[in-house]
Amino acid sequence: MSTRQHRPVVTELRLSAFKSHRGATFGFGPLTLLTGGSGTGKSSVLEGLAALGRLACGDGLHEVFDTVVRGGAAACVPQGARPDAQGRRGFRIGCTVTGPVGPVRLDVAVQVEPTLRIVGERLTGAGETLLTTALRDPSRPTVQAAWHTAGVVAVTRAPLPDDLLATALLPLRVAGRTDGQRLVLAAAEQVVVALRGVFPVAPRPELMRAPAALGDGRLRMACDNLSAVLARTEGECVTRHAALVNAVRAVCSPPVEGLTTLPALLAGDGRGPALDATIAAVDRGPLGLVPIDRLGDGELRFLALALVLLTGPGVLDVDTSTELLPAGQVLTVMADGLDLGLDRQQARELLRLAGRAAAHGHIRLLGTVQDPACLDGVGGLSVTTFAAGMVPRQAGEGGVVGAVKAGEDGAAGRLRASGAGQVDAREVVELGAGTEESVEGAGGDREDGVDQSG
């Protein structure tokens, strides 16, 4: 995995039945932008990938969907979905990760009602179905897992928790003694490494204006500790810090001679002294140092997003793999509303920085934008345009195409329009029933008339 060609990356997201999406597939390049009006499903794409990322980190279903998805797990059930005879409703999501093993597919079926649980999971790669899980006994908080062994015993079975992603648990359960087991481990690691590198960023200028405690040097999603991270990068990442200064100088109010930090104090909890802290400042040359609490929201958002795109795993608060050096990992930065509060010049500068980072192979960008004009003249982009009641249509690098109606051509006809029609709950909880091969001896069991083979 030492070369960028072999670094695991998420190249596709499948929203088989998720929120307003049904049967939708989205391909991701190094720089992928989603455009379109409000309510057309752009943010749902980012939420789906963020949820998979958190599950890959080992978080439980309740923790993931209570924090990642607006409205929680209940909001993920496709609009208009009807419960089946047992009162069950749910959703299905999946992704493809490309890496040393080749393309590896992960698909997950989640039951939301009456109980939140994973009822089916399938991992496939290298021409094999490597893992399936199935709900055997609804009264127990477990699923039956079966993974590829290819030894004396073709398949290994064991119960696993129904609120955790089985793929993320495989390194703890598979010995790696046979070629089949080693393939399972390699595929699972490839998926987990890529998904753990997903970093949603949502800068909140009102929080960024406050001082940050010294030593708080890993940038969080809200960028509220921006000042502490800048204090770190100024001393540790001289080249990247200089690139950040140049980016700010290019698009923010002049003059900009540099970025630095000033000492500050944070009020204690009343039982101890104030804490040493720092606040970032812009060096305005003859005008002196101006603390960032005086900057506008747009300038603060630009500063935070530029910092994210110019840094890496060691600076961002992302749960990357401990098995790989940072140079062997790729971060997928997700920015919902990339151009929010920015002018077009600032948005284009961010895309230029993202392109530069992507060229080095350590950063990929997935973002949504409201103003497609900010993409004009920017090369290397994969753009998908969303429109109400229409199918999202993806363009290749450097092009923007409009959405088309479902059925207008063969490829688009396979993508169902957002919010178009009801989704039968039976379809939701079935994970590819009858469409993919299951692990030998593990599939085909049915319970209450619903295929739970994974």
- Spans of all domains in the chain: 4-197+323-451, 205-304
- Residue 90's DSSP bridge partners are 111
Closest by CA to 389, choosing from 370, 415, 350, is: 415
Question: Residue 236: enclosing H or E segment and its boundaries?
Answer: helix 226-236
Please, which residues bridge with residue 108 across strands?
A: 93, 121
Q: Which helix (H) or strand (E) holds 44?
A: helix 42-56
Cβ(146)–Cβ(453) under 8 Å?
no
The phi, psi pair for 321, rounded to 5°, reads -70, 140
The arrangement of strands across the sheet holding 363-369 comes to 198-201, 331-335, 363-369, 31-36, 382-386, 393-397
Q: Of the candidates 16, 125, 10, which has an alpha carbon nearest to the alpha carbon of residue 56?
A: 10
pLDDT at 252: 93
What is the Cα gyration radius of the chain? 23
Assign 441 a pLDDT band (cuts: 50, 70, 90): very low
Beta strands in 21-88 (DSSP E): 21-27, 31-36
pLDDT, residue 111, reads 97
State the average pLDDT over residues 203-232. Answer: 94
SS3 of 289, please? strand
At residue 317 the predicted structure's pLDDT band, cuts being 50, 70 and 90, is confident
The backbone torsions φ and ψ at residue 202, rounded to the nearest 5 degrees and listed phi first, read: -140, 80
Residue 114: asked if its preceding bond is cis (omega within 30°), the reply is: yes
Closest C-alpha among 371, 376, 393 to residue 384: 393
Asked which of 74-88, 166-180, 295-309, 405-419 is least confident by mean pLDDT, the reply is 405-419
pLDDT band at 119 (very low <50, low <70, confident <90, very high): very high
More confident residue, 392 or 434: 392
Please state which of the ranges 89-98, 182-191, 436-445 shows the lowest mean pLDDT: 436-445
Confidence of residue 407 (pLDDT cuts 50, 70, 90): very low
Mean pLDDT of 168-188: 94
Taken as a whole, the chain contains a residue count of 454
pLDDT above 70 (res 437): no
Q: Is the pLDDT of residue 391 over 70?
A: no
Query: Which of 131-135, 218-222, 389-393 is the least confident region?
Result: 389-393
pTM of the model: 0.85
Q: How many CB atoms lie within 10 A of CB 257?
A: 15
CATH T-level assignment (fold) for domain 4-197+323-451 = Rossmann fold (3.40.50)
- Which residue has better confidence, 447 or 97? 97
The answer to whether the beta carbons of residues 357 and 346 sit under 8 Å apart is no
End-to-end Cα spacing for the chain: 30
How many C-alpha atoms does 435 have within 13 Å on its Cβ side? 7
> What are the backbone angles phi and psi of residue 326, rounded to the nearest 5°?
-55, -35
More confident call, 328 vs 444:
328
Alpha carbon of 93 to those of 5, 90, 288: distances in Å?
Answer: 26, 10, 52
| Residue 373 burial (C-beta neighbours within 10 Å; 0-12, 13-18, 19+) | middle
Examine the pLDDT at 30 and tell me if it is beyond 90: yes
* Pair of tokens at residue 417: 């329009």
Q: What is the average pLDDT across 235-242?
A: 90
- Is residue 308 within 8 Å of residue 243, measured between CB atoms? no
Place of tokens 């909140």: 204
Range of weakest confidence among 182-186, 259-263, 358-362: 358-362
Q: Are 164 and 265 in contact (CB under 8 A)?
A: no
- Asked if the model's pLDDT at residue 397 lies above 80, the reply is no
What is the DSSP pairing of strand 9-18 with strand 89-99? antiparallel
pLDDT band at 436 (very low <50, low <70, confident <90, very high): very low
What is the band of 85 on the pLDDT scale with cuts at 50, 70, 90?
confident
Q: Are 147 and 184 in contact (CB under 8 A)?
A: yes
Nearest CA among 24, 103, 10 for reference residue 52: 10
